Amino acid sequence: MSGVVKIDITESVEVLKTLLAAQKTAFGKERVQALYLLKTKQVETVQHLATILGRNRVTVQRWLRSYRNGGLSQLLSQYKSQGRPKLISRLCNSNVKRRIERPRRIFWL
């Protein structure tokens, strides 16, 4: 049958239930809830799971792929972006700050 999830969830229902209760962020809750719903056979397809969770089918498939590749630890790991590199270097920035903080001399003629 097309769309049926073929994934082997190694954690037991009890472990998933306690892990779901222990999650403090929505990020972790959604992912553990997805595994819980699959393990308890409340859903059969990725589309049905995505509808219940209120996420896109592709997003849920990406979660399941990360679980297949690295288990629960990879599923719950968050990528933290480093952000855009600074345009002004630290040395240049410190020089600018030093010039701004230096008192100006006023000459009267």
Q: 20, 26, 23, 57: which is closest to 39 by C-alpha?
A: 20
Higher-pLDDT residue of 78 and 46 is: 46
Q: Are 16 and 34 in contact (CB under 8 A)?
A: no
- Tell whether pTM > 0.85: no
Q: 38 — phi, psi (to 5°)?
A: -70, -40
Q: Name residue, tokens 């270097």.
A: 89
What is the mean predicted confidence (pLDDT) over 103-108?
70
- Among 54, 67, 61, CA closest to 16: 67
Name the DSSP class of 54.
T
Say if residues 35 and 16 touch (Cβ distance below 8 Å).
Answer: yes
Question: pLDDT tens, 50-81?
Answer: 999 999 999 999 999 999 999 998 999 888 87
CA distances from 82 to 19, 23, 35, 79, 91 (A): 29, 25, 29, 9, 20
